Structure 1
Amino acid sequence: MQNPLDSAALTEALEKVQRAGVPGLFAEIRHGDEVWRGAVGVADLTTGRPVAADMKHRIGSLTKTFTTAAVLQQAERGTIGLDTPIGTYLPHLVPGLRGEQITVRMLINHTSGLAEYLPYVYTSLKAFPDLARTGPECFDEHRHTHFDPTELIRLGVGAPAFGPPGVTPGLYSNTNYLLLAALLEHATGTTAEECITENVIKRAGLHDTAFPTGPHIEGPHSRLYECWFGMIDPPRDYSVFDMSYAGPSANLISTVADLNRFYAALLSGEIVTPASLAAMQQTTQVISQELKTISYGLGLYPTEAPGRETFWGHGGSVWGGGTLAMTRADGRRQLALAMNLQRWNTLDPSGRPQPHPIDKALADFYDLALYG
């Protein structure tokens, strides 16, 4: 029988991604009781410091799975109703008819119809680049800007709706998850970060996963290089950044080992009940930030291919950093990957990302990592 974790082949596939243009990346793959960890490339382009598989990393939207788990735990306790209108709990944040029509479940699976607030942060607060109108200069100007989540929610709720509540395909929107964080605070009397830490992170036995307390990543980590679709050349380091612009929708720091541990615990029923887990795996159609239609559940989405096993997990992106974690439905095989380059694709005149060698190399690595 072929070794399910072929170290040489996995290392070679990871090296091909690095040679295609990613400064550094690292991963952990689990198959049953076997574990493979790999790291290639550099964490610092200036010093040549290498990446290591145990480095801390900003995991971006993988945070959404943690936030969802905390909300579902409250639903299990009866303090939150998944099909209760959000206006019942937060009428000051989602007033009027939309507050009566948008349910908690619609926030979790991105079918609320609420707009993404980030473009309006630019137009209202001049804080982040609007791809159609400006370059990346605002990244540098707002590295240390601290945003009020209520103001960000106001921007998203006040923007033109993507569509009516509950209609599919929905729109992947961070506005939904800032509202879920506010809901957790309303239901528990603590901050969302405290609730998630106590009830999800600690329950999963994670020792290297935490919310940031400032703009720095504590502990050994890589610099994070942002290309912004070729507008930043050479790529610039944004590892030091105030993540209040994302909050509990995308601001956790973790390791690839902790991510595999978390998703294994989640899919084995250790974090939420089997009924809640089944609800997480009921998908609907959502338009992603890459303008692709994807299947999305409650804080999880599947990786599916005809004739192949289904994996569940999430991907994430911050300025300069990307992460993916996927666990097979039976829990027997897992992948967690972190990389220190983002938005490497240039854009065509219509604004669509153009193919890049990194895309093919990553796809090949994922194929080998997931299916052997």
Structure 2
Amino acid sequence: MENPLDGAALDAAMENVRRAGVPGLFAEVRDGDRVWRGAVGVADVATGRPVTADMRHRVGSITKTFTAAAVLRQAEAGRIELDAPVGRYLPELVPGERGAAITVRMLINHTSGLAEYLPCAYPSLKAFPDLANTGPQSLDDHRLTRFDPVELIEMGVTAPPAGPPGGAPGLYSNTNYLLLVLLLERVTGTTAEQCIIRDVIERAGLQHTGFPTGPNVEGPHSRLYEAWFGMIDPPRDYSVYDMSWVGPSASLISTVADLNRFYGMLLAGKIVSPSSLAQMRRTVRVVSQEGKPIDYGLGLHPMEDPGQDTFWGHGGTVWGGGTLAMTRADGKRQMAVAVNLQRWNGLDSSGRPQPHPIDDALATLYRVAMHG
């Protein structure tokens, strides 16, 4: 049953997220030819400058869908074999038996068994640049640090493996996508950014999407406030940050309108071929960065409600910012939501995030946006 756009319900759901504690958020929801855009709250808590729905935003791991699509475009051109060992392409980065056992496909769907080099809520998953002491001081110390992707990959490759190559469940790991970035560079002879721009961003006709050229977000944008699980109170502005800690696998800057356009075109078979799209939607079980089992394809994951339609897309977080973009399988209903606060949950004695009203308010917003 079709649920038309209800602007009043979306406005109310957005306002409830703000009341729950997010300084500002903005979104675009599409239903066929109808488009709703909304923005609530402030882009700068000091000045009260409001957020607007056309702001540019760091979209974090949503970049992974763009990276995966670029790899599949190279596969369609015959330059990459998805089931070839990564050691064929990058023997110096994943040497020996692991390089022979881990395939390109395993990198894209996070079943390589390679460990994560990045931080997480859980002490057992070691973290960020300051591996022993991730926290507010580490974030401040590395605002302008320029990281070498090869060194970050080495952290993930030399860490104890999360599991055997191809094992289930896989582990969501940024190590995988940094390797895909260097794979794109190896087979195209250009930077990964140039490849993704040419094969994906320009192909989709995105006017406000691109990679940062420095630590600043260019164009109209919100400040980004990081709470680091309640340890930074009040939350601190990390909107100026060198994104080399994730590189071109998670550093994209976009708008909610561009994200909806991209996912709509991708799921319509206009970015990669229909056969490649079918492979992107073939899922495996993966443990997310939050420690939860999810279904994950090739740079895409589904959101399903019992008795409801399946939506495909991706989420992403950076220091202080979060984004979720989901498109219904038939492409007609879409949502993209951006928030300017992250890691608002406090931690319990075991290091697990505790429930927060923001979580429930966002879940309600997503439900209204996707299902009416």
Please name the residue that 1:62 is paired with: 62
Q: TM-score, normalization: structure 1?
A: 0.97
Q: Which residue of 2 aligns with 1:263?
A: 263
Query: Residue deviations 1:164-197, cap 9 Å, x none?
Result: 0000100000000000000000110001000000
> Which position in structure 2 is the counterpart of 1:24?
24
Give the partner amino acid of 2:71: V
| Length, aligned pairs only | 369
Alignment of 1:315-334 (within 5 A): 315-334=315-334
Cα deviation code 1:299-348 (max 9, x no counterpart): 00000112100000000000000000000000000000000000000000
Contact preservation (8 Å) 2:118, 2:128 = no
Preserved CA contact (<8 Å) 2:286 2:295:
yes
Identity in percent: 71
How do 1:287-298 residues align onto structure 2 when only pairs under 5 Å count? Answer: 287-298=287-298
Q: What's the CA shift string for 1:227-262, capped at 9, x where partnerless?
A: 000000000000000000101221000000000000
Match of 1:100 in 2: 100
Q: Secondary structure at the match of 2:11?
A: helix
CA contact (8 A) 1:118 1:128 kept: no
Residue 128 of structure 1, CA deviation: 4.0
Q: Which residue matches 1:37?
A: 37
3-state DSSP of counterpart to 2:105 = helix
1:153 Cα deviation (Å)?
A: 0.7
After superposition, the Cα gap between the structure-2 partners of 1:274 and 1:357, relative to the gap in structure 1 and judged at 3 Å, is: same
2:362 partner letter: L
1:83 CA displacement:
0.1
Q: Deviations over 1:271-304 (max 9, x none)?
A: 0000000000000000000000000000000001
Alignment of 1:52-201 (within 5 A): 52-119=52-119, 127-128=129-130, 133=133, 135-201=135-201
- Tell me which residue corresponds to 1:226: 226
**Aligned pairs for 1:198-277 within 5 A:** 198-277=198-277
Asked whether the equivalents of residues 29 and 35 of structure 1 are also in contact (C-alpha less than 8 Å), the reply is yes
Consecutive unaligned residues in structure 1, runs of 5 or more: none
Q: Which residue number in structure 2 is paired with residue 299 of structure 1?
A: 299
Q: Is the 8 A contact 2:128 2:134 kept in 1?
A: no
Secondary structure, aligned partner of 1:4: coil
The match for 1:312 is 312
Task: Say if 1:146 and 1:134 are closer, same or farther in 2 by CA, change over 3 A.
Answer: closer
User: Shift in Å at residue 118 of structure 1?
Assistant: 2.0
Helix, strand or coil at the partner of 1:355: coil
Go from structure 1 to structure 2 and tell me whether the alpha carbon gap of 1:9 and 1:212 turns closer, same or farther (over 3 Å shift).
Answer: same
Cα distance in 1 between the residues matched to 2:168 and 2:331: 30
1:265: how far off?
0.6
Tell whether the 8 Å contact from 1:129 to 1:137 is kept in structure 2 after alignment.
Answer: no
Letter in 2 for 1:324: L
Q: TM-score, normalised by structure 2?
A: 0.97
SS of the counterpart of 1:302? strand
Question: CA, structure 1 residues 86+344, in 2 after alignment: closer, same or farther (shift >3 Å)?
Answer: same
What CA distance in whole angstroms lies between the structure 2 residues aligned with 1:126 and 1:115? Answer: 13
The alignment partner of 1:364 has SS state of helix
Give the superposed CA RMSD: 1.7
Segments of 4+ moved more than 6 angstroms: 122-126
Q: CA deviation at 1:2?
A: 8.6
CA distance in 2, matches of 1:361, 1:149: 37
- Runs of 5+ unmatched residues, structure 2: none
Distance 1:60 1:127 in 2: 17
Contact kept, 8 Å, 2:178 with 2:249, in 1: the verdict is: yes
Q: Secondary structure at the match of 1:323?
A: strand
Distance between the aligned counterparts of 1:301 and 1:112, measured in 2? 17
Supply the distance in 1 between the matched residues of 2:219 and 2:71 (Cα, whole angstroms): 29
Q: Is the 8 A contact 1:119 1:128 kept in 2?
A: no
**How far apart, in 1, do the equivalents of 2:219 and 2:33 lie?**
28
Letter in 2 for 1:306: P
- Equivalent-residue separation in structure 2 for 1:306 and 1:10 (angstroms): 22
Q: Distance in 2 between the 1:139 and 1:351 partners?
A: 19
